[in-house]
């Protein structure tokens, strides 16, 4: 996919974000295109920021969060991507 095709695909599935940019759900990217890897790479190359799910609440007491901190984010895929204002122009 070239730059124009990627921008066109993203405009169809992106929605406004309160920051002034746009947000794109990862699931929408995977469903909308057969070349989702190219779109994901394009987003990251154009200052897109991945957003991960919040980690689950710890049940290990006062220091329980230290046992699993970062594991969820390190292994999980981002749920959505935030592109800055003007990122699709």
Write out pLDDT tens, residues 50-82.
988 766 665 666 666 565 555 544 557 899 999
Strand ranges inside 48-88, DSSP E:
49-51, 80-83
89 falls within a domain = no
Domain residue limits at 64:
3-83
Determine, yes or no, domain membership for 68.
yes
Mean pLDDT of 18-23: 93
E strand map for the chain: 15-16, 22-25, 49-51, 80-83
Q: Residue 39: which CATH number? A: 1.10.10
Q: Return the pLDDT at 76.
A: 74
pLDDT value at residue 17: 93
Whether 88 maps to a domain, the answer reads no
Q: Are 47 and 15 in contact (CB under 8 A)?
A: no
């Amino acid at each position: 996919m070239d730059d124009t095709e990627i921008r066109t695909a993203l405009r169809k599935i992106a929605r406004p974000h309160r920051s002034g940019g746009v947000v794109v759900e990862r699931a929408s990217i995977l469903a909308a295109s057969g070349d989702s890897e190219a779109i994901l790479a394009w987003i990251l190359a154009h200052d897109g920021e991945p957003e991960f799910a919040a980690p689950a609440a710890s049940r290990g007491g006062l220091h329980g969060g230290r046992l699993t901190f970062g594991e969820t984010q390190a292994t999980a895929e981002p749920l959505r991507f935030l592109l800055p204002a003007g990122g699709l122009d």
